Amino acid sequence: MKITLSTSAPSQLDTECLVIAVADTADSDKPNPMLLSDDAAITAAAADLIASGEVTGKAAETTLLHKPAGLKARRLLLVSGGKLKSFSANDLRKISGAAVRALKAKDLKTFALVLPTAGVPAEDAAKAIVEGAYVGSFDPDYYKSDRKEQKIDTITIVAPANSNAAALQAAIDIGTIIGEAQNFTRDLVNEPSNRMTPTILADRAKAMSDEVGLQCEIYGPEKLKELKMGAFQSVAQGSPEQPARLIVMRYEPKRAPAKPVLGLVGKGITFDSGGISIKPADGMEKMKYDMAGGAAMIGAMRAIAQLKPNLRVIGIVCATENMPSGSAQKPGDVQMAMSGKSIEIINTDAEGRLVLADGLHYAKQLGATHLIDAATLTGAVVIALGMINVGVFSNDDDFYNRFNASLKASGEKMWRLPVEDDYRELIKSNIADIVNSAGRWGGAVTAAMFLKEFVGDTPWIHLDIAGVAWIEDAKPWIAKGPSGIPVRSLVEFVRELGSKN
């Protein structure tokens, strides 16, 4: 997809479709939609439509007008972003994504979207529009024999004539990198497990790293044994036919200071059957997405390499299947993690925290001074927060606050949950140091407490993305399937950290 910039008068732009953002200015339940454009010809062209009441300003509402009077555009698409008083860059992402999905379904190949006149600074608006367009362009139906290729080839962002064109172009370029990284992640997560084994995931990470200039090392079972990654190995031993892979990606700009070094650690379970503690058959096919945390780290590293922040970053993905077999670990087994801690296995379906335990410890060994992990870790976080917020846990308030500030730029929703010492009692074992599952109550918290055992005093953030990594129902701006969360937040945070060096 090509993104171009124009400073022509919107009404004079010759395009297949001109897209205008709409917001509701009403404080009451009765809508009062307003076009976020100061072009009088556009206001006149849409006047009858607005007067009809068909346009309400409700978020992601689309209304198409053919042959609009007084415009060179052949169509006018009004896309609503909700209330004007809360209008944000994230609303623009949704507007852009909704426009892409609506227009490509009509086999249009190009359109122009006018920067809104209110609510969002121009550069932020341009970046958000590009990110939203990439989100909207993705469809998961790879393997349908009758798949119809519908895509937008070119989007023109229309800015005022007095705009800072260089700054807008820079914002477009950043949005393109982030949008492509998010879709790269979604592509990895979307693949079925027979086409996204640990080996294939590692190969994709290596090819990406070679393309963008990252250092990348791929290790197999022999290295895990050498490193004494007993927790990671314990999960992998149930699937010897698909050997585990330890993926290590490094971004090391020459002028970056020695510290901080950020470690990004992702859970890469390419299929999670639950192991001996096998999952119910209903919905198990979706367990191909259990590597979404690892995929997010690979996607984030892709964008980081292209954006070139002045910060050292290490990306680690622990990739394996979790399968039942004669060699699989069993409930009651005791495993030794790389750190030396012993773990009693209560439930083999609590496997993500096992691979992350060794991944987090290894990141520290490689020099990471700060850690973020991402994983589809618990169903409990979905019960707590639904399919709206990522569950965030941290042992360091300052580190968390800096990360939380990046969410304004990313638009991704997250909510902090506790990791207090009182919860540690729940993960104590009678036979080993800790158990890998503490039962039903507070399951997302006890999973985080388990991970906390392996980070020590290192500032750390844990992102439980189980509820948001997969979109259960299509939205006007995004298809059903993988979301690519939390790529944008990770990238925005790294950009912020790098800007301080």
Residue 252 near residue 206, CB atoms below 8 Å:
no
> Which residue in 93, 353, 488, 495 is the catalytic one?
353
Q: Which residues contact 344 (CB under 8 A, 6 or more apart)?
A: 332, 333, 334, 429, 430, 431, 432, 434, 435, 436
- How far, in Å, CA of 55 to CA of 81, rounded? 11
Catalytic member of 279, 402, 413, 416: 279
Instruction: Let me know if 279 is a catalytic residue.
Output: yes
Specify whether 109 is catalytic: no
Cα–Cα distance for residue pair 134/121, rounded to 1 Å: 20
The long-range contacts involving 275-283, CB below 8 angstroms and separated by at least 24 positions, are 275/235, 275/238, 275/322, 275/323, 275/324, 275/328, 275/329, 275/348, 275/349, 275/351, 276/238, 276/324, 276/328, 276/329, 276/330, 276/331, 276/348, 277/331, 277/347, 277/348, 277/349, 278/324, 278/349, 279/349
Closest by CA position to 288, among listed 446, 140, 474: 140
- What are the distances in angstroms from CA 408 to CA 88, 90, 128, 394, 411? 9, 9, 12, 19, 6
For residue 96, the tally of other CB atoms under 10 A from its CB is 30
* Whole-number Å distance between alpha carbons of 468 and 387: 5
Amino acid type, 475: K
Q: Which residues are catalytic?
A: 279, 353
